[in-house]
Amino acid sequence: MTTVQPASTSFWNDTGKTGITSWIFSTDHKRIGLLYFYSTFGFFLVGVLLGLLLRIELMAPGRTIMGPETYNATFTVHGVVMIFLFIIPGMPGAFGNLVMPIQIGARDVAFPRLNLFSWWLYAVGAVVVLTSLFTGGGPPDTGWTFYVPFSARTGTNVSLAVLGVFVIGFSSILTGINFVTTIHRLRAEGMTWGRLPLFVWSIYATAWVQILATPILGITLVLIMAERILGAGLFDPGRGGDPIMYQHLFWIYSHPAVYIMILPAMGVISDVIPVFARKPIFGYKMIAFSSLAIAAAGSLVWGHHMYTSGMSDTAILVFSFLTFVVAIPSAIKVFNWVSTLYKGSISLEAPMLFALSFILLFSIGGLTGLILGAAATDIHVHDTHFVVGHFHYVMFGGTGFAFFSAMHYWLPKFYGRKYAEKPAVIAWALMFTGFNILYFSMMVLGIKGMPRRYYDYLPEFAPLNLVSTIGSWILAVGLVIMLANLFRGLFRGEPVGNNPWGGATLEWSIPTPPPTENFDREPVVTHGPYDFTKAGVP
Amino acid sequence: MTNENAAHHIVSNKKLVMVWLVLLCLTYLTVWVAHHNVGIGHVWGSLAIACIKSALVVAIFMHMKYEGRLLRWLLFLALATMAIFIGFTFFDVLYR
Amino acid sequence: MNQAAHKDYAGAKLGMWLFLFTEILLFSGLFLLYSSYLSRYPREFTAAGREMHVGFGTLNTVILITSSLLVAMAVTAIQRNERRNVLLLLGGTILCAATFLFNKYLEWSAEIGNGIYPGSPRLANGPPGESVFYSLYYLTVGLHGLHVLIGGTFLTLVAVRVKRGTVHGGDFVLLENSALYWHLVDLIWIFIFPLYYLIL
């Protein structure tokens, strides 16, 4: 067996350009993907730090390490950073850019310069958001939802923060446009819609949500600035406005936004499970269809964030019913993933461990979503820690763990080297344990009545809060081990060949790391994405 | 990928000017209707005329009439999305 | 790689249409607010509507419709390689855009002079629905005006390229896409006009 070596020329060095300018002015989707990866992941770590600080404060009743105003700012910035600077741009921007064009057999995306411009918009928006934290009235303290009337009146630097998010939103829109056009126009010969990897289907559905929903966020943010700066009074009851109208506008985007967050993650799982079970995916068509269905149905349910706001009973009924409908396509995916595993030849390497735990954690998150989606039960748990537990299960246990799976699955392809398996498994085990201790406690606390976004709480909630904080430390340790192992591996680990995992999708058919052009001649596709036999990878 | 420059549809100036004249007539009509009907019942009438005007602009000025099915369906998708956003909000607004 | 060899005309057009969809949805947020508040304050909206300058509004509508005609004719002209006509027509369109903005300036000066602007004392003392109407008016028309400026800028940049010869009968997707953007600006106004000026 010959020793494997990464290719000596690849996108890392085959353009002849070097230095930082060859990265930040590159129109190569792989370089842009890595730019997104490092910037968004960097912000993830900032968000983790803020989260850990929040948990230290909540470890015991009363003041622990910060005062109430600081606490408000900390959970606001934690949310804004995690949602707008990590999750929403991260999955499509990093792995969508790195992998999708290769998976469809293309050289690059439809509009490479627009792609670079999208990243620059993200970077500028992020800088504006960061600036807002340290200037003017200080970091916003409204929660990431910026509800009026408080967001219109607070002295903190809401306008600048919101402007930064607006710029990032524009980046998201342009990425969506780029990806839809790419998938429609640049598929290689033989790459029919029915042969697309499910990750591509998920990126496609996500791109549609980015195109159709993000503009509403744009106008909503403009309206916040208009309330604050122009005194427009559109949401001010004293002048005829209605604060609930703000909530409608905000959630019309922000509910579909959670599908921007979860759909690519589900796409990763759909790609990883067949490879590590050595079995074609069960129900390909239904999984592809369900991605579109989730995007569509997910755009109809925003009112379920507003059951206690003063909305009409008719609206409560309609939105509650539709929320149950949107659970169905998600469940279809879960059933199909599990069916894929049945009688498969399962190997539990790191990408698979994260993918399997995704199924469990996402399901818990999804089921608790139904408790929230049913209006009657929601009354009890609305704005409690139950909600916080729910969304962390889907966004962290779901998208977060899928992101980690993708990191272990795909980054070795782009670096030519791989992490060590044993520390990765230990890290995963610590993270899985810490995660559940951290967030399951919150769900119990929520049902017992502990509100969210409260600086202090009743003494009866103290024990579980302490338990939750300890969970956060276990999770953090696991995270550190995972990152140390992964990055050590990518830069100094075992070299990998073209197809270390035995995948049948196109990215595994080209050299490791890939050349800038991806393919030396346009591929002609003759088999499906999970047809291991035809791809020659038993 | 075929070179599609040859298949471009060219809309004649005559057709464009005709559409322009119709648009001007519809504009006159919508102003007339507004001044000769009291109350806001005529909001729907104004909107209907606006829809006809935009259909003409989209179909002829923007060449949608000569484009493929995909683009037309996608436009329908965008408009349906907008209709749903506004329409579903009315489940709240109308029934408070 | 033969994929990159010729520019993808259909892809560029698809991309532009997708962008137009996002613009439609951007304004739809404002139309959502308008329709919700109209159903709540029908009388105040009607009363405020009567104060609007229908003359200005109608004139601007005619100007934009004409500008759409001119830019559509410019696309036809470039397909026929009539370079000089393209430049004249584009010039006409840009002139319409400038006139529209100038009219807006006159109109707003008059209204602001009358004490009608967001947060003004006159509106603060008036009925609540009236203040909402005018805030929406300024925001919607203001955002639209910004798009007139952007569209006009696009058209100017394209006109420069037509003059240079980089946009021509064999490769004019930039002109076509700028024209599409311009038509969108016209389309939005087609809805703004009846909702704000004819709500009498």
The DSSP-derived string for A182-203 is HHHH-PPBT--GGGS-HHHHHH
Alpha-carbon span A504 to A531, nearest angstrom: 6
What mean pLDDT value characterizes chain C? 93
- Per cent of chain A over pLDDT 90 is 96
What mean pLDDT value characterizes chain A? 96
Distances (CA, A) of C42 to A319, B8, B96, C57: 27, 47, 16, 21
Q: Is the pLDDT of residue B7 over 70?
A: no
pLDDT band at B3 (very low <50, low <70, confident <90, very high): very low
Q: Are A67 and A170 in contact (CB under 8 A)?
A: no
> Which letter, b or e, does each residue of A139-159 get, where b requires 16 or more Cβ atoms within 10 Å of its Cβ?
bbbbbbbbbbebbbebebbbb
Alpha-carbon span B49 to C191, nearest angstrom: 10
pLDDT band at B5 (very low <50, low <70, confident <90, very high): very low
| B96 vs A contacts (CB less than 8 Å) | 310-312
Contacts of C9 (CB under 8 A, 6+ apart): B4, B5, C173
Which of C11, C32, C124 is closest, CB to CB, to A110? C11
| C61 vs B contacts (CB less than 8 Å) | 27
Neighbours of C160 (CB within 10 A): 13
Portion 11-40 of B in contact with C at CB < 8 A:
11-13, 16-17, 19-20, 23-24, 27, 30-31, 33-35, 39-40
Tens of pLDDT, residues A385-399:
999 999 999 999 999
Which domains are delineated in chain C?
Answer: 8-197 (1.20.120.80)
Alpha-carbon span C105 to C111, nearest angstrom: 10
Portion 228-247 of A in contact with B at CB < 8 A:
244-245
Q: Are A495 and A5 in contact (CB under 8 A)?
A: yes
Alpha-carbon span C73 to C77, nearest angstrom: 6
Contact B95 A212 (CB under 8 A): no
Pairing of strands A417-418, A494-495: antiparallel
Contact A181 C33 (CB under 8 A): no
For position A312, what pLDDT does the model report?
A: 97
Q: Are A119 and A32 in contact (CB under 8 A)?
A: yes
- Per cent of chain B over pLDDT 90 is 73
* Position C138, amino acid: Y
Contact C132 A241 (CB under 8 A): yes
SS (H, E, C) C60-88: HHHHHHHHHHHHHHHHHHHHCCCHHHHHH
Per the structure, the complete domain to which residue A490 belongs is given by 23-535
Q: Please give the residue of chain B at the shortest CA–CA distance from C80.
A: B10
Tens of pLDDT, residues C145-165:
999 999 999 999 999 999 999
Counting Cα atoms < 13 Å in the Cβ hemisphere of A159 gives: 13
Query: Using CA of residue A172, residue A174, residue A180, residue A185, what is the dihedral sign?
Result: negative
What number is the average pLDDT over the span A262-277? Answer: 98
Contact C62 B27 (CB under 8 A): yes
pLDDT band at C119 (very low <50, low <70, confident <90, very high): confident
For position C2, what pLDDT does the model report?
A: 38
3-class DSSP state of A273: helix
Alpha-carbon span A150 to A247, nearest angstrom: 13
Q: Please give the residue of chain A at the shortest CA–CA distance from C40.
A: A240
Q: Is the pLDDT of residue B58 over 50?
A: yes
Residues, chain A: 538
Q: Are A286 and A269 in contact (CB under 8 A)?
A: no
Q: Which helix (H) or strand (E) holds A52?
A: helix A29-57
What are the boundaries of each domain within chain B?
Answer: 11-62, 68-96
Q: For C171, list phi and psi in degrees, rounded to 5.
A: -155, 85
Alpha-carbon span A44 to C20, nearest angstrom: 32
Q: Is the pLDDT of residue C3 over 70?
A: no
pLDDT band at B20 (very low <50, low <70, confident <90, very high): very high
Query: Using CA of residue C187, residue C192, residue C197, residue C200, what is the dihedral sign?
Result: positive
Q: Is the pLDDT of residue A81 over 90?
A: yes
Distances (CA, A) of B53 to A40, A350, B22, C200: 45, 58, 8, 20
> CATH number, domain at A441?
1.20.210.10
Is the residue at A29 inside a domain?
A: yes
Q: How far is B78 from chain A (nearest CA, A)?
A: 7
For position B36, what pLDDT does the model report?
A: 81
Q: Are A43 and A81 in contact (CB under 8 A)?
A: yes
Structure tokens at A234: 């559109």
Is the residue at A488 inside a domain?
A: yes
Alpha-carbon span A377 to A373, nearest angstrom: 8
- Per cent of chain B over pLDDT 70 is 86
Alpha-carbon span C85 to B13, nearest angstrom: 12
- Comparing CA positions, the residue from A203, A373, A365 lying closest to residue A302 is A373
For position B42, what pLDDT does the model report?
A: 75
pLDDT band at A6 (very low <50, low <70, confident <90, very high): confident
pLDDT band at A448 (very low <50, low <70, confident <90, very high): very high
pLDDT band at C7 (very low <50, low <70, confident <90, very high): confident
Contact C15 A178 (CB under 8 A): yes
Q: Is the pLDDT of residue C5 over 70?
A: no
Question: Which CB contacts under 8 angstroms, 24+ apart, belong to A142-146?
Answer: A142/A72, A142/A76, A143/A72, A143/A75, A143/A76, A143/A79, A143/A453, A144/A76, A144/A79, A144/A80, A144/A83, A144/A84, A145/A79, A145/A250, A145/A254, A146/A224, A146/A250
Is the residue at A304 inside a domain?
A: yes
Alpha-carbon span C116 to C130, nearest angstrom: 10
Structure tokens at A318: 């309609």
Alpha-carbon span A291 to A263, nearest angstrom: 7
Lowest mean pLDDT among A430-444, B35-49, C156-170: B35-49
Alpha-carbon span A264 to A282, nearest angstrom: 18
For position B33, what pLDDT does the model report?
A: 85
Portion 144-203 of A in contact with B at CB < 8 A:
184-185
Q: Is the pLDDT of residue B40 over 80?
A: no
Is the residue at A17 inside a domain?
A: no
Neighbours of C45 (CB within 10 A): 25
Biggest alpha carbon–alpha carbon distance for chain A = 78
For position B4, what pLDDT does the model report?
A: 46
Q: Which residue has the tokens 């990518």?
A: A490
pTM of the predicted structure, to 2 decimals:
0.96
For chain A, what is the domain count? Answer: 1
3-class DSSP state of A418: strand
Q: What is this model's ipTM?
A: 0.95
The DSSP secondary-structure symbol of A28 reads: -
For position A536, what pLDDT does the model report?
A: 87
Is the residue at A15 inside a domain?
A: no
Q: Is the pLDDT of residue A439 over 50?
A: yes
- Comparing CA positions, the residue from A433, A424, A430 lying closest to residue A352 is A424
Which of B31, B39, B58 is closest, CB to CB, to C198? B31
Q: Are B46 and C194 in contact (CB under 8 A)?
A: yes
The DSSP secondary-structure symbol of C193 reads: I
B96 touches chain A (CB under 8 A): yes
| B95 vs A contacts (CB less than 8 Å) | 312-315
Structure tokens at C155: 């058209």
Contact A300 B84 (CB under 8 A): yes
What number is the average pLDDT over the span A116-133? Answer: 97
Distances (CA, A) of C64 to B24, B28, C131: 11, 14, 28
Tens of pLDDT, residues A179-212:
999 999 999 999 999 999 999 999 999 999 999 9
Distances (CA, A) of C71 to A368, B91, C2, C94, C160: 54, 41, 33, 9, 15
pLDDT band at A2 (very low <50, low <70, confident <90, very high): low
3-class DSSP state of A495: strand
Q: Please give the residue of chain B at the shortest CA–CA distance from C61.
A: B27
Q: Are A274 and A346 in contact (CB under 8 A)?
A: no
Q: Is the pLDDT of residue B38 over 80?
A: no
Query: Using CA of residue A446, residue A448, residue A449, residue A451, what is the dihedral sign?
Result: negative
Q: Which helix (H) or strand (E) holds A417?
A: strand A417-418
Q: Which helix (H) or strand (E) holds B62?
A: none
Tens of pLDDT, residues A331-376:
999 999 999 999 999 999 999 999 999 999 999 999 999 999 999 9
- State CA C106 to chain mean position distance: 17
Q: How far is B72 from chain C (nearest CA, A)?
A: 10
Q: Which helix (H) or strand (E) holds A494?
A: strand A494-495
- State CA A93 to chain mean position distance: 10
